[in-house]
Structure 1
Amino acid sequence: MSRTMLAGRINFTTRTFAVQEVPVPDPGPGEVRVRVRAAGVCLSDVHLVDGRLRPMLLQGDEVTLGHEVAGEVDLLGEGVTGTGPGARVIVGAGKRIGDAVWTMGVDYDGGWAEYVVAPAEVLVPIPDTLPFEQAAIIPDAVSTPWGAVEWTGQVKAGEAVGVWGVGGLGAHGVQLLRFVGAAPVVAVDPVAAARERALEFGADLALDPGDPDFAARIAAVTGGAGLDAALDFAGVAPVRNQALEALRAGGRLVLVGISGGPLTVESDGRFSYGRKQILGHYGSEPRHVVDLVRLNALGRLDFSRSVSGALPLEDAAEAVERLESKQGNPIRLVLIP
């Protein structure tokens, strides 16, 4: 086998991204090398390329991007049991070192490459019925909103919930809220095509945030009470202010989108009087990926609409540009090494 491979790498010192030849990594004790078959392109990857996000734990100034990865086990490191070459797997998007959780494709090399090395314990087996392209996006694109709905947001059946931003994460947020029985599900997005998609994914109502009757329509659909919960997948201040206003007394706002800027509340008096809550959310727990694979296998969740396009790894820069410019209003793009 060739000892080099293609990988999409970013240098945080020079602020440059390129697909280049690098050595094929070898697994250490307890690790597995996976032949990547598909890797998702996330808005977080775009923000790493444009400088809005920076790694906190990366050793050095370069990393291979990609935290949404599926493929086949290629080589086992020393001491690894329970899997073998050819096994179809999702590669979990992080690993724990001491008390810190490191993110793949951010703090250590990820899956925008022909091969990736990961701890054996983060691999999640997938059935033959789940295509690699759909499996790859489960960690993050699906598991992050699932964690926000099921874990941080503690959404219960019958609760009225709003979703701000119906992109790669928000579209799945709508689908997952419908799955757990939230009612009504209200989607909010300035893009008409995104609102249409939200209705296709199970929203009961899709609103333009600039609608002059926005507050009245929220009141009408919730019987005047307001939303029990709001999920912010956009990560911008106007969204957060609007979502807080739409909450009922005691309602909760879950922050999933990251702006990189300060978090402010327009009126702390009104916020406190309404006993509202703001909850931060990041990523997901390993069990969420396992849950989603099982729910898909049982036919409860369908990810076939989630992949908006596939590009060869060599065209990673084009994929970043297409996602950044929202060309074609994609849910998720995937790279195929």
Structure 2
Amino acid sequence: MGNWVVSLAGPRRVSLEPCPTDPLGPGQVRVRTRYSGISAGTELTLFRGSNPLVGFGYEEVGEIVEVAEDVADRHPGQLVWGIWGHRAEGVVPAGAVNPLAPGLDPLAAVFARPGAIALTAVLAGDLHLGDWVGIFGQGVIGLLATRLASLSGARVVAVDRVPARLERAARLGARRTVDAGVDSAAAVLHEATGGRGADVCLELSGAYPALHEAIRATTHAGRVVAAGFYQGHADGLGLGEEFHHNRIQLVAAQVSGPAPAPGLAGRWSGARIAHTFMDLVAEGSVDPLPLVSHVVDARAVADALALLDRGAGDVLQVVLRF
């Protein structure tokens, strides 16, 4: 299809635009894209907003088609994952693309970044064997966090408003599920813990009322990790009651920031987190492929973003196929 890039000209104005082929510089490789994952958080807010943007992208998988003469550890024909944007072809530093584990379905690698976001939140929660953990929001990142927290030995209570997502969460290891449209997650977590409350809550939906409920659900001196992408004013978030009286520790977790918890500095870099998640996928501890709900031809990128914009519960990971 030549070299094309996804262009966002304004609110809900998205298209594929031709772009020139970049020359290959020293230390660089040329990658032909196979799949590109779309973020249901950050990228959807861009799609709905007003900032002109060309070439946004979340996590890509492709095949190296050319390497610079001074590159020794990458070769044409190699399948790799990295971030080079929603484009048919990318020219990137050789060290910025990561070889796919042998035998792994290339589609699984579009989860490297959402998996890293989920693992960042889990590490920031400082979970321990036997902890009760509320995970608010069971979209792609929340479901991955449910699996990772369960692998950590935590007893997970998954919270969402979409019953089908809660069913998935149970299959991924959640001990209990809460339909937030019907029941109070704080009440369920207090009941499950003999009145104590959750040791840790992870808020991954980006909704202020969910962050408020996570604070209410957490025990005295417990921790709430805010890892959603919050927008606008904090309507529905009250800090005068449980937050204040229970001395809740509120932690912001962001995938591209410093180490997610004080004791992890110097050991858990962003690169290590992403590689660790992909190692867990390669060894079979985490299987993200069932979370792919739609694979859409890149020429239909506007339809792909409209799917996410609709906000239906059956839409999880949407992937562009180039």
Tell me the residue number matched to 2:127: 155
1:23-42 pair list within 5 angstroms: 23-42=20-39
Query: For the residues of structure 2 that align with 1:222 and 1:118, how far apart are their CA atoms?
Result: 50
Amino acid at match of 2:56: L
1:271 aligns with 2:243: yes
Q: Return the match for 1:200 from 163, 171, 183.
A: 171
Alignment correspondent of 1:97: none
Deviations 1:118-160 (A, max 9, x none): 2222222112311111112222x2111011102x222222211
Q: Which residue, out of 84, 108, 113, partners 1:134? A: 108
Contact 2:29/2:64 (CA < 8 Å) preserved in 1?
yes
> In structure 1, how many angstroms separate the alpha carbons of the residues matched to 2:199 and 2:24?
47
The amino acid that maps onto 2:292 is V
What is the root-mean-square deviation of aligned Cα atoms in Å?
2.2
Aligned-pair distance for 1:270? 4.2
Moved more, 130-139 or 18-27: 18-27
Which range moves more in the overlay, 262-271 or 32-41?
262-271
Q: 1:119 to 1:315 in 2, by over 3 A?
A: same
> Mapping of 1:1-337 within 5 angstroms?
4-11=2-9, 16-43=13-40, 44-51=42-49, 61-77=52-68, 79-91=70-82, 93=83, 110-139=84-113, 141-150=114-123, 152-183=124-155, 185-212=156-183, 214-263=185-234, 266-268=238-240, 270-283=242-255, 285-327=270-312, 329-337=314-322
Segments of 5+ residues of structure 2 without an aligned counterpart are 257-269
Rounded Cα–Cα distance in structure 2 between residues aligned with 1:234 and 1:317: 23
Offset from partner CA, 1:61-110 (integer Å, 9 cap, x none): 5421222111111222464331111111111x4xxxxxxxxxxxxxxxx4
The percentage of aligned residue pairs carrying the same residue is 29
In structure 2, relative to structure 1, the CA distance for the partners of 1:113 and 1:244 (3 Å cut) is same
Deviation of the 1:269 alpha carbon: 6.1
- TM score, norm. by length of structure 1: 0.84
In the TM superposition, residue 24 of structure 1 has moved relative to its aligned partner by: 2.3
Distance 1:122 1:62, change over 3 A: same
How far has the Cα of 1:15 moved from its partner? 6.8
Distance in 2 of aligned mates of 1:218 and 1:269: 18
SS of the residue 1:267 aligns to: coil
Amino acid at match of 1:171: L
Q: Deviations over 1:169-222 (max 9, x none)?
A: 111111111111111x01111112221221122111111223355443221212
TM-aligned CA deviation for residue 329 of structure 1: 1.5
Q: Distance in 1 between matches of 2:240 and 2:179?
A: 26
Question: Does the C-alpha gap of structure 1 residues 159 and 137 become closer, same or farther in structure 2, counting only changes over 3 Å?
Answer: same
C-alpha contact (below 8 Å) 1:36/1:111 kept by paired residues: no
Would you say how many aligned residue pairs link Structure 1 and Structure 2?
Answer: 307
Equivalents in 2 of 1:243, 1:249: separation in Å?
13
Question: Which amino acid in structure 1 is aligned with residue 13 of structure 2?
Answer: T
